[in-house]
Copies of this chain bind each other. A is one copy, B any other.
Amino acid sequence: MSAETDFNVTDSEWEVMRVVWAHGQASSKEIIDVLGQKMDWKPATTKTFLGRLVNKGMLNTQADGRRYLYSANVGESEFVRHALDEFFGHVCNREVGKTIGSVLSKATLSHKDISLLQTILDEKKETAVEEVPCNCVPGQCHCNVHSGGSCSC
């Protein structure tokens, strides 16, 4: 029926995806064991999420005897990017800079991560704007409230 992948994954299902992403391919038993330990879920609970994820097209099943081997149909990076777009869709554009800063602050990063970010940031310098416009309220602007400053929208 549904050939389309449904990215609408709930928090619990997300936990299941993480295990699959980390394993690459795994049997339900492996997944159940990990989540039984990490999330304290009963086997039946994990089974439910596994089934729902297969329905959503987030997981692929490959028959292995009478059981399945599960694997992700969507990469973690792709999925996270998707979820993030939705997240930032809720955040006022004016807050995005600060927000990224706050994530950055508390993140554990590798040297490679840092150079990547450095590169991106350098590129960003060229398209930097004077004042980011508020997008919380359509039509009218109330930015003056935000940073306590004058707004040019």
Contacts and interface: CB of A to CB of B under 8 A. Distances in A.
Contacts of A117: 97, 100-101, 104, 121
Given A22-B137, A38-B138, A96-B107, A128 B114 contact: yes
Contacts of A100: 100, 103-104, 107, 113, 117
Interface in A16-63: 18-19, 21-24, 34, 37-38
A125 interface: yes
A93 B108 CA distance: 7
Given A23-B145, A84-B103, A116-B98, A76 B90 contact: no
A128 B113 CA distance: 9
Copies of this protein in the complex: 2
A132 B110 contact: yes
A139 B30 CA distance: 13
Contacts of A136: 18-19, 21-22
Nearest to A98: B77
Nearest to A93: B108
| A22, A34, A105, A128 — most chain B CB neighbours (10 Å) | A22
A39 B50 CA distance: 33
13 contacts: A11-B90, A18-B136, A22-B134, A22-B137, A38-B137, A76-B95, A77-B95, A96-B107, A97-B114, A103-B103, A104-B117, A110-B129, A111-B129
Q: Which 3 residue pairs of A and B lie closest in terms of their CB atoms, listed nearest first?
A: A97-B113, A22-B136, A18-B136
